[in-house]
Structure 1
Amino acid sequence: MTDSATDTAPPRVFRSDVRAARKRLAGQLRKTPVFHTTVTGPDGPLPVSLKLEYLQHGGTFQVRGSLNALLAAAGEPPHVVLAAGGNAGIAAALAAARLGRTCTVVVPETAPHSKVAAMWAHGAEVRWHGTSHAEACAHAAELARERGALYLPAHDSPAVVAGAGVLGLELEEQVRGRPPVLAAVGGGALVGGLAAALGRRQRVIGVEPERRAVLRAALAARWPVAVPAVDSAGPDRVGAIALELARRYDVPALTVTEDAVDAAREQLWREFRIVAEPSGAAALAALVSGAFVPEKGSRTVVVLCGANGDPGAS
């Protein structure tokens, strides 16, 4: 089982949905800054605009989608249940607490303890179930039915994707021209939201680790397919809504190695004293490793989407 509520064609998300989300979220979020600078690529300095989304409430872009989804579901049951292995759970716990709702997050046994602690800190009940994101999703959906609670797909609901897309509307105001935007894939809410917001006005490029290339696999199969990984609590497939948006707007999926991600994180710390988690630095890894080659002299937008890594980890 996945985050998707159905195996039929997914609902479509449009720029109008993202604009409605921006109105709904007014006053609820930080408009995170953009830092115009250069980074070191394979052949020298590269102009870049870093979208510092790790400064968002909860340290992750995902609070945008969670807040939008819960605000849109104002008439639904007050208790929220979802499955998440990391930042999506933190975001939902924070959003629920802010809106006076209760929240249960079902996490797989592989979920990082630092992220579980953050869920607790925002008042969530955390329940462990299974060793994969898919098993946690199945249990969360069952639990929501038993409790008569609102089940919140962490990555694959229209409101979550539209909320994430508000970041794209901010970029239009913050960065001149229409440079390409690199963003991590994960479950797909971020790249899907950016594609919905920017459409063909601006190129959106997904970046994912080689060991969990869920968007690349889905684009090849034309449907979300599982890409198992024994060392990850994250989703094993991209959301169906994000895949539809990627196909509609020709969003490619670039892959990067773990070494490239480590090098990007090291450069962020060395040059800017930014501590990004691996998923937060994946987009930059594509640029500094040469997986993405910009036009000569052109600027690239890179979304640094999260900074909730374990401080004790390398």
Structure 2
Amino acid sequence: MSLPINLAMIREARERLAGVIHRTPLDHSTTFSRLTGSEVYFKLENLQKTGSFKIRGAYNKIMSLSSEERQRGVIAASAGNHAQGVACAAARAGITSTVVMPEGAPISKIMATRGYGARVILAGGSYDEAFDHACRVQRETGATFVHGFDDPLVAAGQGTIGLELLEELPDLDAVLVPVGGGGLIAGIAVAIKSLQPRVRVIGVQSRGAPAVYLSLKGDCRQQLAAVATIADGISVRRPGEFTLEVIRRYVDDLLLVDDEEIARAILMLLERSKIVVEGAGAVTLAALLHGHLSLPGAKVALILSGGNIDVNILSIIIERGLVKSGRIVRLRTVVTDQPGSLQRLLAAVAAVRANIISINHDRIKPQVPLKQAEVELLLETSDGDHVRRVVDALSREGYTVEVI
């Protein structure tokens, strides 16, 4: 069976996108090469216009419409990145756009989509429910539906990343690609396997949204009852129909990573490389960092597909990461309720060079005996060993310390 996407379509998409999108950098990372044993190159689609690769496919689709279709406008369903790509592409083409987003979509992505000029409708608790609502609106309005992944023209636009990879790194050995509905990896796989069949194409999904993974294992397209992951950009309950067939033919392997691994990759990219990515953009590094595959010495390109992370989520990831690494610790102890007691406690903390972030002193808490006060300390420490030294030092001074 022939596929509805081919190399010629991807090359035509590149011509349409010339002068519209950024040719994003392919950045070699010495740090992550050392940590993983591979020669790691980041394809920085987080620096793309609208903050993700999605504008490539959206613009290619919209610029392929007839004049009659353009007059009716376009509609899409998206958790955020495709929404911005469609809105930006439609504005550039001078046509109207409507985007249906889940009610729980990040506020930053909703505001950015409206900022590009789209009419935003919030409906449903997931991408799939938003998609169903968008289909109803499409039938009522006659607007052209721009699918987020299950459209050959959309996938062809995403496939231009594959052309750029091979031009910038001809001796590429493998590429790791985030997978939600499959449009990104379908386009990249067709481009790369058509030109360099030896290059391994490996997909990465969140363990909380493994629709493609389970569809491949079950040998039929499956729909999940629910999805739950911090990688909202790939949180899809059912993969695309034609994209799944492309994945079957061209993708060498598909891996799963969990949310803790994704969060750690986000934090490490931020701290070690000063790169901001969202959950979907970090899954490729998470797979390599946590040993889900080993490619020693190989030149490996990781697609960092987007950088539109909600700042509230980012702050939680940073704080949790600091706690897990022992760089922030919260302690609870009890002191006598008399002048100088708190000062002596703080002097003991200072003696082991822990930095105090905040203090809560409570002498009226019912569980605390009279003439005593409970003290909670939030401390900045250097690592887990430093935390142990702080606790030991306070214990030697007679304090009963609880790490909370």
TM more than 0.5: yes
- Report if aligned partners of 1:42, 1:289 keep a CA contact under 8 Å in 2: no
Q: Shift of residue 43 of structure 1?
A: 6.4
Q: What residue number does 2:380 align with?
A: none
Q: What residue number does 2:117 align with?
A: 123
Q: What residue number does 1:20 align with?
A: 12
SS in 1 for 2:313: coil
SS in 2 for 1:182: strand
- Report if aligned partners of 1:207, 1:255 keep a CA contact under 8 Å in 2: yes
Which whole-Å CA distance do the structure 1 matches of 2:20 and 2:255 have between them? 32
Which whole-Å CA distance do the structure 2 matches of 1:230 and 1:282 have between them? 15
- Report if aligned partners of 2:171, 2:299 keep a CA contact under 8 Å in 1: no
Q: What residue number does 1:107 align with?
A: 101
What RMSD, in angstroms, separates the aligned Cα atoms of the two structures?
A: 1.9
Larger displacement relative to structure 2 (203-212 or 244-253): 244-253
Q: Which runs of 5+ in 1 are unaligned?
A: 1-8
Which whole-Å CA distance do the structure 1 matches of 2:90 and 2:84 have between them? 10
Q: Shift of residue 129 of structure 1?
A: 1.6
* Superposed CA offset, 1:165-221 (max 9, x none): 000000011113131000100221111111111122421110011111121111123
Which whole-Å CA distance do the structure 1 matches of 2:112 and 2:140 have between them? 26
Task: Choose from 55, 65, 70 the match for 1:77.
Answer: 70
Q: Which runs of 5+ in 2 are unaligned?
A: 315-404
Q: Shift of residue 230 of structure 1?
A: 4.9
Q: What residue number does 1:50 align with?
A: 42
SS in 1 for 2:15: helix
Q: Does 1:161 align with 2:155?
A: yes
SS in 1 for 2:57: helix
What pairs up with 1:259-298 in 2 under 5 angstroms?
A: 259-294=260-295, 296-298=296-298
SS in 2 for 1:28: coil
Which whole-Å CA distance do the structure 1 matches of 2:44 and 2:3 have between them? 30
- Report if aligned partners of 1:42, 1:290 keep a CA contact under 8 Å in 2: no
Query: Greater Rg, structure 1 or structure 2?
Result: 2
Question: Could you tell me the percent identity over the aligned residues?
Answer: 36
What pairs up with 1:1-314 in 2 under 5 angstroms?
A: 12-40=4-32, 45-75=37-67, 76-78=69-71, 79-199=73-193, 200-227=197-224, 228-230=226-228, 234-294=235-295, 296-314=296-314
The normalised TM-score by structure 1 is 0.92
Q: What residue number does 2:350 align with?
A: none
Which whole-Å CA distance do the structure 1 matches of 2:240 and 2:2 have between them? 9
Q: Shift of residue 45 of structure 1?
A: 4.7
Seen in structure 2, the aligned counterparts of structure 1 residues 125 and 86 have a Cα distance that, compared at 3 Å, is same
* Superposed CA offset, 1:86-143 (max 9, x none): 1111111111111111111111222121111111111111111222222221221121
- Report if aligned partners of 2:203, 2:251 keep a CA contact under 8 Å in 1: no
Q: Flag as ranges the 4+ runs of structure 1 deviating above 3 A.
A: 39-46, 230-234
Which whole-Å CA distance do the structure 2 matches of 1:265 and 1:45 have between them? 19
* Superposed CA offset, 1:227-254 (max 9, x none): 2215658421221122111111143210
The normalised TM-score by structure 2 is 0.72
- Report if aligned partners of 1:287, 1:293 keep a CA contact under 8 Å in 2: yes
- Report if aligned partners of 1:203, 1:251 keep a CA contact under 8 Å in 2: yes
* Superposed CA offset, 1:5-64 (max 9, x none): xxxx99521112111111222221111111112344796553211111111110100100
Which whole-Å CA distance do the structure 1 matches of 2:145 and 2:100 have between them? 11
Seen in structure 2, the aligned counterparts of structure 1 residues 41 and 27 have a Cα distance that, compared at 3 Å, is closer
